Amino acid sequence: MAPAPAPLPAAVAGWWERVNGSPAWQDGIFCALAVLYGIVAAASFIQVARIQCRVPECGWTIQKVFQFLNFVVNGGTWFNLLYKKRKLLALLSTD
């Protein structure tokens, strides 16, 4: 049997409780995820446009469909995150 892992130092042991209980951390992570989803969606859309400009006679290839679906899914998630954030901010500001 493997030996038991060494306990973590006290400063590191409670990091999840600090992050989980901090609205600033949660807002920062939420916004970072929204930005990353937006970047991936934009990159996928640019790829579809680039492929279409480069080889317009091929129609909808597997690569175009994959990039387009990437754009739809990540763009939808980005929009959903922004919509939820705006709705959440509107609820908090009315109190």
In a domain, 2, yes or no: no
In a domain, 16, yes or no: no
In a domain, 65, yes or no: yes
Residue 60 belongs to domain spanning:
27-93
In a domain, 15, yes or no: no
pLDDT > 90? residue 90: no
In a domain, 18, yes or no: no
pTM listed for this prediction: 0.71
Sign of CA dihedral 53, 59, 62, 68: positive
What is the count of structural domains for the chain?
1
**Residue 49: partners with Cβ closer than 8 Å, 6 or more residues away:** none
In a domain, 34, yes or no: yes
SS3 of residue 22 by DSSP:
coil
> pLDDT tens across 6-35, in order?
777 777 777 778 888 888 888 888 888 888
SS3 of residue 61 by DSSP:
coil
**Residue 37: partners with Cβ closer than 8 Å, 6 or more residues away:** 74, 75, 77, 78, 81
Residue bearing tokens 């998630």: 77
In a domain, 60, yes or no: yes
